[in-house]
Amino acid sequence: MKGLGATLLILAVALAPTAAAQKIRSAEQGSVPLALDPFTHERATVTVKPGDTAWTEAVRPTKVVRLLDAAPPRVRPGGIDGVPAGALLFGYRLSTGFAYCPEIDTARMSTRVQCFRDLDDDGTFDGGYVTNDTAADSRYFSSFLQGLVAVPKRRYEPAAGADLPAAPVRVVYAGMKKGAPRFNLFVDKARMDNTLECVVQQPDVCDVLGVRIAFAAAADPKGAIILAFEGAAQNRIFDVLDPINHLQR
């Protein structure tokens, strides 16, 4: 996000507990679970120096629904567009369940969008939030949701992540540390805060983002390494979240 950090957790995550018997907050920071598309660089070899893109990927939300009933523009706060029937919404994980948001158009002047919640689990949305970010760098993330209000019931149905367009991912070589390569991750234009450590599995072989890589120093240019992609796991999932607690600032 512009001016905001977004960090990355690499893990397969369990669903949050249900909202029953738990207080639902009117504003809350959460995370977005994303899945990487099948790896396309197996058996390829690249030479990179710090700051170079080592490889590219594509990522999509793991939780997706289709809105069946259109939502009008939000009255308060104003200036936030409605959401048409048929729109695909991605899942935003909160402490008591999921809200669902439309893909964010990062090219717009204001990128705030409406998000929706099925508070009683009856197959219709009956709660509405707005995202806080006025200028987002990633189509599938907002640092927090706010302004929860009751809304007229709107139907939705499950959909597949493949129905949403993929967000481009760049994995950038950041240099060596303790004998292993490190990488920075960019999703759309947003750089994730934490540097990814490639975990050594055997001499000169390590795993990062579910990808197994053989690495060796390159003769030229100075500081460069050679990466050989040996393969990747089939199901690669991570969460994107904002490490700053904006609700307590």
Q: What is the pLDDT of residues 142-199, one digit of tens each?
A: 889 999 999 999 999 999 999 999 999 999 999 999 999 999 999 999 998 889 999 9
Span 52-81, average pLDDT: 95
Are residue 50 and residue 68 in the same domain, yes or no?
Answer: no
Report the pLDDT value the prediction gives residue 247, as an integer from 0 to 100. Answer: 73
Q: Is residue 117 part of a domain?
A: yes
Separation between Cα atoms, residue 51 and residue 90, nearest integer Å: 31
**pLDDT 10s digits, 214-245:** 999 999 888 999 999 999 999 999 999 887 77
> How many domains, in total, are found in the chain?
2
- The CA distances from residue 123 to 117, 120, 166, in Å, are 10, 8, 26
Picking from 139, 162, 185, the residue at the C-terminal end of a domain is 162
Q: Is residue 1 part of a domain?
A: no
pTM of the model: 0.86
More confident residue, 212 or 21: 212
Q: Do the bridges between strand 145-159 and strand 88-94 make them parallel or antiparallel, or are there none, so unpaired?
A: unpaired
Are residue 196 and residue 230 in the same domain, yes or no?
Answer: yes
Range of the domain at 231: 36-59+164-237
Other CB atoms closer than 10 Å to residue 119's CB: what's the count?
17
Separation between Cα atoms, residue 121 and residue 208, nearest integer Å: 37
Measured distance between the N- and C-terminal CA atoms of the chain, rounded to whole angstroms:
17
